[in-house]
Amino acid sequence: MKKTAGCIVFEGAGAEGLSPLTRARAVYEIRVGPETILERLERLLQIRATGLCVRPALATATATRDPRPINPRVRAGDRVINAGWRPDGRVALPRDAHAAYCDGELAHARLDDRAASEFNKIIAEGRAEALMHAVAHLPRIEAGGRMTRHAWDMIASLKNDLTEGMSSGRRRPPARSRRGVTIVKPARAHVAADCAFQGPCTLDATDGPILIERGVRIGAYAVIEGPAYIGRDTRINPHAWLHGANAVGPVCKLGGEIDGCLFEGFSNKQHAGFLGHSWIGSWVNLGAGTTNSDLKNTYGTVRVRRGGDEIDTGQMFFGALIADHVKTGIGTLLPTGAVLDFAAVAAIGGLLPSYVPPFSWLTGDGVRAGDPQKLLDVARKMMSRRGIEMSEADATVFLRVAGEGAARR
């Protein structure tokens, strides 16, 4: 009996360029608007991924979050698709063996026997940068679209991603009128039936659609402007103002002013303070008054430090990259283009450096290396408060990131 061809989504050579987003998550798990990269690819390519290829260090942890085979062996006839590829719209993938390129990188391919054999070796060795060698003999075509190289690429495209993602898929009924709730352009606002409005508030879909998932609670006098996606069981505090395109993953607690931000999920920014054009990972807690800058006084492009490198984002508006498990104290100020790396703790108010290394503990005495085991205990406590137990696989990844951070110092 002939086997059905597989469809494998893999992490390309660009995974490192997306750090710190990818310290503990696969590229395809990153949120883009109301969906993940994987969900967007499946929707636009009209496929269902049958397997997922990730860096070996993430394989066990990733398997706890997705039932599909992780790093499976591929066969002739299988399709492989780079998670970093962003098609512009719906794409019909070619049926014949091919290798499609975008911005000089492999975007997708259909494999023959030779390519499948080479692909399996490269994935097993964790050498994503060598994948193009596996398919170099295949007929070459251009894929179109673009490759996602950096986190700020996703912030720059957030408004479009939100509008496209919420306008596709199943049709949803318009928001019904509720006492005390002002809904502007109700045909573009979609609110789960069990969403609780705890006083007068405003949903304004003039500039884009709004989708509010189940279990969300919205406090009195909150204002949400579209495009905006609010994930399940999130709490929007009283007087919060969300504007300029925001994507909020599940189980977040948000307050203050938020402009053009992407929250992966399970993170808190409960208090007053401004957060703009930033990516916020999971299990982040921003202390009261935490505020960032997302625009230079010179109106020049924002530069971002990552480790010893400084990169020009090419963006006039870009705020901060706040990695998973980061904590900030009250009154923390983040300079334009700040990077708070994985599990960093800023236990002091005032202006932070432009780059805070992973597992750093920042106090009035300066920056020192935090104790990974103690920080792991803190992470477990935060997760347990949400009724989630950290898996041993995720704990292993957490400590591995600590070891990598120590090696960079």
User: Which residues have CB under 8 Å from 164's CB, separation 6+?
Assistant: 33
178, pLDDT greater than 90:
no
**Structural domain boundaries, residue 111:** 7-149
Query: Cα separation of 254 and 261, whole Å?
Result: 11
Domain containing residue 247: CATH number:
2.160.10.10
Secondary structure (DSSP) of 265-298: ES-EE-SS-EEES-EEEES-EEPTT-EE--B-TT
Note whether 139 and 242 are same-domain residues.
no
381, pLDDT greater than 70:
yes
CB distance 275 to 292 below 8 Å: yes
Query: Cα separation of 263 and 258, whole Å?
Result: 11
357 within some domain: no
The residue-averaged pLDDT of 160-176 equals: 83
| pLDDT tens figures, 108-140 | 999 999 999 999 998 888 787 788 889 999 999
Task: Tell me how many domains the chain contains.
Answer: 2
Confidence of residue 1 (pLDDT cuts 50, 70, 90): very low
Tell me the sheet residues that pair with 356.
340
The residue-averaged pLDDT of 310-317 equals: 96
The fraction of the chain above a pLDDT of 90, given in percent, is 86
| pLDDT tens figures, 31-48 | 998 999 999 999 999 999
115 within some domain: yes
pLDDT for 198: 94
pLDDT for 128: 77
Confidence of residue 388 (pLDDT cuts 50, 70, 90): very high
The answer to which of 79-83, 167-171, 330-334 has the lowest mean pLDDT is 167-171
Q: How far is CA 100 from CA 141, 149, 296, in A?
A: 5, 17, 39
Note whether 170 and 245 are same-domain residues.
yes
Show which of 126, 149, 172 is a domain's final residue.
Answer: 149
The residue-averaged pLDDT of 324-334 equals: 97
Note whether 213 and 287 are same-domain residues.
yes
CB distance 76 to 117 below 8 Å: no
279 within some domain: yes
Note whether 22 and 118 are same-domain residues.
yes
Note whether 144 and 175 are same-domain residues.
no
Show which of 129, 149, 169 is a domain's final residue.
Answer: 149
Looking at residue 300, its amino acid is: G
Q: Which stretches of 244-384 are assigned E, i.e. beta strand?
A: 246-248, 253-254, 257-259, 262-265, 268-269, 274-276, 279-282, 285-286, 291-292, 303-306, 309-312, 320-322, 327-328, 332-334, 338-340, 345-346, 350-351, 355-356, 360-363, 366-369
Note whether 112 and 260 are same-domain residues.
no
The pTM of the whole model exceeds 0.85: yes
What is the rounded end-to-end Cα distance, in angstroms, of the chain? 55
Show which of 292, 318, 342 is a domain's final residue.
Answer: 342
CB distance 114 to 137 below 8 Å: yes
The fraction of the chain above a pLDDT of 70, given in percent, is 97
Note whether 228 and 246 are same-domain residues.
yes
Tell me the sheet residues that pair with 140.
99
pLDDT for 406: 55
52 within some domain: yes
